[in-house]
Amino acid sequence: MSRPQFTQPVVGVGIDTHRYFHQVTFLDADRQHAAPGFSFADSAEGYAQLRQTLEKIEARQPNVHFHIRLDVAGQYAANLERFLHGLPFATTLSVGEPARNKHYRQAIAPKCANDVVDSYACGRFAVVERPPATPAVPEAFHLLREIVSRLESQVRQTTRTINRLHNLMSRVFPELATVVSKFSADYLLELLAKYPTPARIAQARRKSLLAISYLTEEKADKIQAAAKRSVGSTRGEIAEELVRGLVEQVRQSQLAEKKLEKLLLKTYRALPASPHLQVETIIGIGAVTAAVLVAKIVSIDRFETKGRLVGYFGTFPEENTSGKDKYGNPLPPGTMEMSRQGSDLVRRYLWMAALSAAQHNPAIKALYARQMASGKRGDVALGHCMRKLLHLVFAVWKTNRPFDPNHYPWDKAAPGKKAQQETAGRKQDMPE
């Protein structure tokens, strides 16, 4: 995308945003201070102070164009963005991602890190690079984004609580992690609520264990066998209370997530009709996942290509060979895992969507089969499926057309598989 061209004077306004106060810097085209920078409150008085400074600059430089660059931390700049879009001056407002802003600041001031330097870096980026304007968030999307932000925080809280439970169980019942893959599973939480220590599990009747929903006979037998020979060092009644307490916290946090999801859906359904509705037509993407994606994307026009959309959410595998797995085996060269860039919330819902799409969506099902046939690990193959789902989101939203499962011959044979199919076909054609 080409940078906008201005014939009038340009002043870069860099703002480093925070919860209650923001730091601003004003730079003219030669990167000199157009006005003294300052910190202003996120309030009517603070906004008035900012506007008065812009008016003074405009009085000195008629027809000036303010190129405003925000370093946005979470939702802290929501009020400020609304205010800036309503200013009566000629402005271009661009919103930068915190990571990109940080890298730019490190490039120009590697030994300094404070609010003044951060706002200066934003102002310098605005006046030198002249980034294009970031589309404004439509009024109807503000509440949706607020709920998604709250859901994102709640999901992090659930993850932290599950990690604490996992950490505690490493001393109470370390063998459990070799039998169970997900400590958030309903059957495991029910098991630990009833039998919180290996001693309790070992003494439990098999019939009582099998009464737990979704706990299979094979899994129950493995867990009980491991409990009977557990080397856990944290034992007794205190250990039982600690485990039960964390299990209850996990359940409460999961319940809070469900309530927020319902509120999210209600708000999402109230949005005015637009091409974003096509996202739900993609097989595998449910209403909640669509709502999360729409809240984060807001406008597909923010992204020039599908690659930009994938990069924004960080949904791509990358190599990680550091450390060992839970069985003590070194990670072999070429071991891949999902990138930790982008939104944790989006990755979570896209992961679940990919699991469904790998079974029912012809585009994703074929991709998953090709990845597995080439020797990829299951989770890495699903990472590629997540990326493909974003490609489809980009396509249906841009074109305002629903997903057509028959649009393309998705099921192309994997290398080696095609030859096998041709051989089988020739055998079928041979006379008896």
CA distances for 222 relative to 247, 256, 304, angstroms: 21, 32, 51
Residue 421, pLDDT score? 43
Q: Is residue 267 part of a domain?
A: no
Specify if 92 maps to a domain: yes
The model's pLDDT over 175-224, given as tens digits with 9 standing for 90+, comes to 999 999 899 999 999 999 999 999 999 999 999 999 999 999 999 999 99
Mean pLDDT value across residues 275-280: 96
Q: Report, as an integer, the average pLDDT of 164-177.
A: 96
332-384: pLDDT as tens digits:
665 555 555 667 899 999 999 999 999 999 999 999 999 999 988 888 899 89
Q: How many CA atoms lie within 13 A of 347 on its CB side?
A: 20
Same domain, 96 and 178: no
Q: What is the mean pLDDT of residues 131-152?
A: 87
Q: What percent of the chain has pLDDT over 70?
A: 85
At 102 the pLDDT is: 73
Yes or no: say if 315 and 383 are a contact pair by the CB < 8 Å rule.
Answer: yes
- Same domain as 223, residue 128: no
pLDDT tens, residue by residue, 294-321: 999 988 988 889 988 988 887 655 555 5
Pairing mode of beta strands 21-28, 33-41 = antiparallel
The CATH number of residue 192's host domain is 1.10.287.4070
Provide the domain count of the chain.
Answer: 3
pLDDT at residue 367, rounded to an integer = 93
pLDDT at 29 over 50: yes
Last residue of a domain, one of 90, 106, 134: 134
Residue 3 falls inside a structural domain? no
Indicate whether 114 and 224 sit together in one domain: no
What average pLDDT is seen over the chain?
A: 86
In a domain, 408, yes or no: no
- 35 in a structural domain: yes
Tell me: do 253 and 294 sit in the same domain: no
165 in the same domain as 51: no
Encode pLDDT of 31-58 as tens digits.
999 999 999 999 999 999 999 999 999 9
Determine, yes or no, domain membership for 377. Answer: yes
Characterize the bridge pairing of strands 65-71 and 90-96: parallel
Supply 416's token pair: 């080696």
Query: Which of 67, 99, 134 represents a domain boundary (last residue)?
Result: 134
Quick one: average pLDDT of 162-185? Answer: 95
Which of 2-6, 70-74, 375-379 bottoms out in mean pLDDT, i.e. has the lowest?
A: 2-6
Neighbouring residues of 295: CB distance < 8 A, sequence distance ≥ 6: 141, 144, 145, 147, 148, 264, 268
Query: Of 134, 153, 188, which residue is a domain's last?
Result: 134
Distance from C-alpha of 176 to C-alpha of 156, rounded to nearest angstrom: 23
**Average pLDDT of the segment spanning 283-287:** 96
Q: Are residues 127 and 50 in the same domain?
A: yes
Judge if 161 and 118 occupy the same domain: no
Residues 376, 283 within the same domain:
yes
Same domain, 107 and 20: yes
pLDDT of residue 211: 95
Give how far Cα 323 sits from Cα of 169, 217, 247, 328, 358, Å. 21, 33, 28, 9, 30
Query: Cα-Cα-Cα-Cα dihedral of 113, 119, 125, 130, to 10°?
Result: 170
Q: What is the pLDDT of residue 318?
A: 56
252 and 291 both lie in a single domain: no
Domain, as residue range, for 320: 274-399
- Flag whether 187 is in a domain: yes
What is the average pLDDT across 239-251? 97
Domain match, 21 and 103 both: yes
| Mean pLDDT value across residues 246-264 | 97
CATH assignment of the domain containing 62 = 3.30.420.40
> Does the pLDDT value for residue 424 go beyond 60?
no
* 268 assigned to some structural domain: no
Instruction: Record the tokens describing residue 24, joined without a space.
Output: 């601003």
In this structure, the answer to whether residues 112 and 199 fall within a common structural domain is: no
